[in-house]
Chains A and B, each alone.
Chain A
């Protein structure tokens, strides 16, 4: 049986209560909206891209603890990274939360994001954990329209 504490780890709870980089960014040159209407999770991700690198990233919106903490930790993880590095991190994060990441694999690269490993035991919550990331991805790609993981 999956353990609740594996899902709701302290780091996740703490970030959901006090999200980092939680602000509108006036200087953003990219932004995208993520919305899961069934859940009601709704975020905007703001990006300040300088050439190929993410000079600044922030988000705002509302959602469950998992989606909010994921957005918060994501902004910390990708700040200062290049597009390619962010894309690689997203790929690893996605593998982690969908249970495709071996426990002894490259989790070191994920850093704090490893706290989301418990999500894979709760399949209906994967969409919560990945919403901000898909939104970031759309923002980086300059895609139009609202992103959803439902």
Chain B
């Protein structure tokens, strides 16, 4: 438990969570999320837009509030009580993340703004040093824009080539094609662990093994994975792992880049500024050790502490219990939604997490979204920042329901009733 969580008053602790046992008592869990109590448009809120961002439990809200009420100070530089204490809490959050990902050392955890910044960091430091004209960067056809554009920028600057491993009609990576695209020119592989638009879980362990046979480092975009499944970076043997705090019940503006020590040590810094240096003269600057070398400027201390509290909350429930609950919910939703006449599911991979993307007859997803919203049901509609995925399926957009640990079967039933309402309006 982080120092922050230890110091929370008894009533702020997730007691329900610790008593939850092997399974998730979803009604108990829901009481931890104040936002879920409200009504929107006269209806009980049904929040099914978790792949965009998750809601925050009271323990996270309290950890952030307490930091500002009691502990706020700049870190890594003060000799006074508050600074020392804030530094301790910030670094405790780093150790919490380390444990969550099973990283070998806390110094391998770099705090960034989110998965997007984590990927940009690797593109602009490791890859900028190691990718040259004629080299290749390999991604997949199911990436979020955040795992496409940073590589395009790099490839354009370097005269390198962006290669894209194709996917099947069900939204699964074509592993043989992926393997064939690896070669002596490939300097880095960047793949999503779980697709935000399709829900597909990629066989990343296998992909990492394939890439490592060519000594190619692999970055995993875990933004959609860490809320839903156990991630062990040492077991995966991935070289970099990126995720955002706000999708795993933490605050916005904080995220994590994990990197293997040997790689991080050899990489040039990302941004220059305070905190990332050991000494500065006008002639020469000595950079700080990792992870601080990559954390220029005053960091998002409250964000890191909030993320630590979120991970403690997830750990308290047990990520395997969360995964089991969500898996059951997704299976139920897949069954009853696909039984609705006119429904076409986009993304039907065997291994999926958390996401149900669908089309209904020729009704545009935005019309579906507006009608569901009138029923108090929040889903995402559009291209989900994955336009190449939409192009792959020859569509402009989908409607996407995405699940979290606090969603219930009753909410899935409400979604189905909402879709029936859409059908009535467009009958």
CB–CB A122/B370 < 8 A: yes
| Inter-chain contact B367/A65, CB cutoff 8 Å | yes
A116 to B363, CA, bound (A): 18
Q: Indicate if the CB atoms of A38 and B383 lie closer than 8 Å.
A: yes
Q: In the complex the two chains form, is A40's CB within 8 Å of B396's CB? A: yes
How far does the alpha carbon of A38 sit from the alpha carbon of B364 in the complex, in Å?
13
Q: Say whether A111 faces chain B, with CB atoms less than 8 Å apart.
A: no
Q: A42 to nearest B CB, angstroms?
A: 7
A4 touches B374 (CB 8 A): yes
B36 CB-CB contact with A under 8 Å: no
Q: Which residues 39-90 of A sit at the B interface, judged by CB distance below 8 A?
A: 39-42, 62-66, 68
CA distance A66 to B367 in the complex (A): 8
Residues of B within 8 A of A39 (CB): 364, 366, 382, 396-397
List B contacts of A63 (CB < 8 A): 364, 396
The answer, among A2, A13, A40, for a CB contact under 8 Å with B425, is: A13
Residues of A in contact with B (beta carbons under 8 Å apart) = 1-2, 4, 7-8, 13, 37-42, 62-66, 68, 122, 124-125, 128
Cα A63 to Cα B365 with chains together (Å): 9
Contact A1 B396 (CB under 8 A): no
- Determine whether the beta carbon of B370 is less than 8 Å from that of A125: yes
> Most chain-B CB neighbours within 10 Å: which of A1, A4, A68?
A4
Q: Assuming A4-B425, A63-B364, is B370 touching A42 (CB within 8 A)? A: no
Q: Which residues of B contact A37 (CB under 8 A)?
A: 383, 387
A40–B41 contact, CB under 8 A? no
- The reply to whether B425 and A42 form a contact with Cβ atoms under 8 Å apart is no
Give the CA-CA distance A122 to B374 in the complex, in Å: 10
Partner of A64, one of B367, B374, B383, B387: B367
> Which residue of chain B is the closest to A62 with respect to CB atoms?
B396
Q: Within 8 Å CB of B363, what residues of A?
A: 65
Of the candidates A1, A2, A38, A65, which one forms a contact with B426 in the assembled complex, judged by CB atoms under 8 Å apart?
A65
Contact B383 A40 (CB under 8 A): yes
Residues on the B chain within 8 Å of A13, using CB: 425-426
User: How far does the alpha carbon of A8 sit from the alpha carbon of B364 in the complex, in Å?
Assistant: 13
B371 within 8 A of A: yes
Contact for A42 among B366, B371, B396, CB less than 8 A = B396
**Beta-carbon contact of B390 and A40 below 8 Å:** yes
Nearest CB in chain A to that of B396: its residue: A40
Residues of B within 8 A of A62 (CB): 364, 396
Query: Min CB distance, B427 to chain A, in Å?
Result: 9
Give bound CA distance, A65 to B383, whole Å: 17
Chain A CB within 8 A of B184 CB: no
Closest chain B CB from A1 CB (angstroms): 6
Give the Cβ gap from B392 to chain A, nearest Cβ, in Å: 14
CB-based contact A65/B364 at 8 Å: yes
Across-interface contacts of B367 in A (CB, < 8 A): 8, 64-66
**Count of chain A to chain B residue pairs whose CB atoms are closer than 8 Å in the complex:** 55
Which of B194-233 touch A at CB < 8 Å?
none
Query: Shortest 7 CB-CB distances between A and B: which pairs?
Result: A40-B396, A64-B364, A40-B397, A64-B366, A65-B367, A64-B367, A8-B425
Q: Which residue of A lies closest to B363 (CB)?
A: A65
Complex Cα–Cα for A113 and B396 (A): 27
With the chains together, A123 CA to B268 CA distance in Å? 47
- Nearest CB on B from A69, distance (A): 11
Greatest chain A CB density within 10 A among B363, B366, B370, B387 is at B366
* B42 close to chain A: CB less than 8 A: yes
Task: Say yes or no: B396 contacts A7, CB within 8 Å.
Answer: no
One digit per residue, 1 when the CB lies within 8 angstroms of any chain A CB and 0 when it does not, for chain B 348-371 equals: 000000000000000111110011
Contact B371 A4 (CB under 8 A): yes
With contacts A1-B42, A40-B396, A62-B396 known, is A128 near B383, CB below 8 A? no
Residues of B within 8 A of A42 (CB): 396
6 contacts between A and B (CB under 8 A): A2-B374, A13-B425, A63-B396, A64-B367, A122-B370, A125-B366
Q: How far is the CA of A125 from the CA of B367 in the complex (A)?
A: 9
A62 to B370, CA, bound (A): 18
Distance in angstroms from A58 CB to nearest chain B CB is 20
Task: Enumerate chain A residues within 8 angstroms of B390, measured Cβ to Cβ.
Answer: 40
Q: Kindly identify which residue among B42, B366, B387, B426 contacts A128, using a CB–CB cutoff of 8 Å.
A: B366
CA distance A41 to B371 in the complex (A): 18
Q: Which residues of B contact A2 (CB under 8 A)?
A: 374
Residue numbers in A under 8 Å from B397 (CB-CB): 39-40
> Can you name 20 extra interface pairs (CB under 8 A) apart from A39-B364, A62-B396?
A1-B41, A1-B374, A4-B371, A8-B425, A8-B426, A37-B387, A39-B397, A40-B364, A40-B382, A40-B397, A41-B366, A63-B364, A63-B396, A64-B366, A65-B363, A65-B364, A66-B366, A66-B367, A124-B370, A125-B366
Which residues from chain A contact B387 at a C-beta distance below 8 Å? 37
Residue in B42, B365, B370 whose beta carbon sits within 8 Å of that of A7 in the complex? B370
Complex Cα spacing A1 to B376, Å: 12
A20 to chain B, nearest CB (A): 17
CB distance from A68 to the nearest CB of B (A): 8
Interface residues in B365-403 (C-beta closer than 8 Å to A)? 365-367, 370-371, 374, 382-383, 387, 390, 396-397
For the complex formed, measure the closest distance between the CB of B393 and the CB atoms of chain A, giving whole angstroms: 12
* Closest chain B CB from A27 CB (angstroms): 28
Q: How far is the CB of A108 from chain B (nearest CB, A)?
A: 28
Closest residue of B by beta carbon distance from A3: B374
Minimum CB–CB distance for B73 against chain A, Å: 40
